[in-house]
Amino acid sequence: MAGYGRSDRVGAAMQRELSQLVRDQVKDPRLGMVTIQEVRVTRDLSQAKVYFTVMDKDTVKSSTAVLNNAAGYLRRCLSDAMNLRVVPQLHFVYDTSIEEGMRLESLINKAVKADRREDD
């Protein structure tokens, strides 16, 4: 099974469950609109990095703190929802890939416009 092992399947299942749990169970006013982007689980299933984004960039620090404080509770909820012998420890990390992609797209568009001006 090349490329899509057990840790990948567990990560995908955890992403689905965590999306629902964060939406329905975490009731902290400091938590903004959170989207779980990806869950990367180590091969031994002991650790999981949960990458998330928020709608309001001003709430990144507070949302990270809220989610990391709720990690134990969310882990317990995951153990109830998923049939795993060991549920990984959760570490929430803000995902900057979307912002980085938008920045790169902007740079590419500027370069294309500059090339068009030089051709004219």
Residue range 27-80, pLDDT digits in tens: 888 887 899 999 999 999 999 999 999 988 888 899 999 999 999 999 999 999
Domains, in order of start, for the chain: 6-95 (3.30.300.20)
User: What is the pLDDT confidence band of residue 84, given thresholds at 50, 70 and 90?
Assistant: confident
Q: Give phi and psi for 61, each to the nearest 5.
A: -65, -45
Inter-CA distances, 77 with 3, 5, 46, 106, Å: 28, 24, 16, 41
> How far apart (Å, rounded) are the C-alpha atoms in residues 104 and 109?
9
87-111 pLDDT tens trace: 999 999 999 888 888 889 989 998 8
